[in-house]
Amino acid sequence: MTKNMTHDGKRSWWDGSVTTACGQKWPKGQGQHLWFVSVNCPICLAIRKRGKR
Ligand SMILES: [Zn+2]
């Protein structure tokens, strides 16, 4: 695991927390390394490919 790994996730508009496709959740302000492009987290990529909603 690397801290530079990028995840596919969704930011909550009501509390600013981020939940990634691979099931991690960061409180507001800790999602700087999360992006919606150039995702390289294999779990997130697999889930995205499967079309998990
Ligand atoms: Zn991930």
Flag whether the pTM goes above 0.75: no
pLDDT at residue 38, rounded to an integer? 78
pLDDT at residue 42, rounded to an integer? 93
Q: Ligand 1 mean position to 38 CA, how many Å?
A: 12
pLDDT at residue 34, rounded to an integer? 56
pLDDT digits (tens, 9 = 90+) for 1-53: 456 778 888 888 888 888 888 998 888 876 555 555 678 889 989 988 886 55
Q: Ligand 1 mean position to 20 CA, how many Å?
A: 6
Q: Ligand 1 mean position to 9 CA, how many Å?
A: 8
Q: Ligand 1 mean position to 44 CA, how many Å?
A: 4
Give the CA-trace dihedral at 26, 52, 5, 23, to 10 degrees.
30
CA distances to 5, 14, 27 from 48, rounded to whole Å, are 16, 24, 22
